[in-house]
Chains A and B, each alone.
Chain A
Amino acid sequence: SQKIEQNSEALNIQEGKTATLTCNYTNYSPAYLQWYRQDPGRGPVFLLLIRENEKEKRKERLKVTFDTTLKQSLFHITASQPADSATYLCAPDTTDKLIFGTGTRLQVFP
């Protein structure tokens, strides 16, 4: 069955450093992969969408890579800030819907 893996352990980094979150998927080949941010008690917020032929996409301090050979996406936040602390969800698509990972909690401390 289709499976998505994100590191369930929280990632703790110091302000100003680059945070790197990993998303691995198995048993399917998505054409798109999305990343969302979720704050406690709130709905997820869309951040970035990357297509299978794009390899890398940037938006301000965010960068996403998509390696279809490794079946992996990496999500980077450069110059991280305490306000970046949240849970980040990856969501590779299937034909008509998204499948969400369980998310990785990022904690940026001053």
Chain B
Amino acid sequence: DVKVTQSSRYLVKRTGEKVFLECVQDMDHENMFWYRQDPGLGLRLIYFSYDVKMKEKGDIPEGYSVSREKKERFSLILESASTNQTSMYLCASGPYRGAYEQYFGPGTRLTVT
């Protein structure tokens, strides 16, 4: 079975802090994605990556950056956390370029105070 793990289930940070969210997949997938999920807004794509050291902006990249130094690991970085970044963050991986099925991690619920 595909396994996608995220570094934390719950995280509380202060406004202005730099936040790192880590995601690791164990199935040698090429594609990795970061989403945030908010009530009434659904899943929104922040960034995605098709290969090591490659990244593409999603629909809401402002305030975020990403890093993919190894194929299995995709990190989401909040350079200076703000309260409007309080959300559920979900990482996903997928086997092929293009919109094939995605496998999600358990999510990180981030609260910025």
Closest A-chain residue to B100, C-beta based?
A49
Using A43-B90, A44-B43, A102-B41 as known contacts, say yes or no to A94 and B99 having CB atoms under 8 A apart.
Answer: yes
- Interface flags for A27-41 (1: CB within 8 Å of B; 0: not) read 000111010000001
- Interface flags for A65-105 (1: CB within 8 Å of B; 0: not) read 00000000000000000000000010101111111111100
| Docked complex Cα distance between A76 and B88 (Å) | 28
CB of B24 to closest CB in A, whole Å: 14
The count of residues in chain B whose C-beta lies closer than 8 Å to any C-beta of chain A is 25
The count of residues in chain A whose C-beta lies closer than 8 Å to any C-beta of chain B is 25
Does B105 lie within 8 Å of A43, measured CB to CB? Answer: yes
A10 interface hit (Cβ, 8 Å): no
A46 interface hit (Cβ, 8 Å): yes
Contacts of B48 in A (CB 8 A): 96-97
- Which residue numbers of A lie inside 8 Å of B, CB to CB? 8, 30-32, 34, 41-46, 49, 89, 91, 93-103
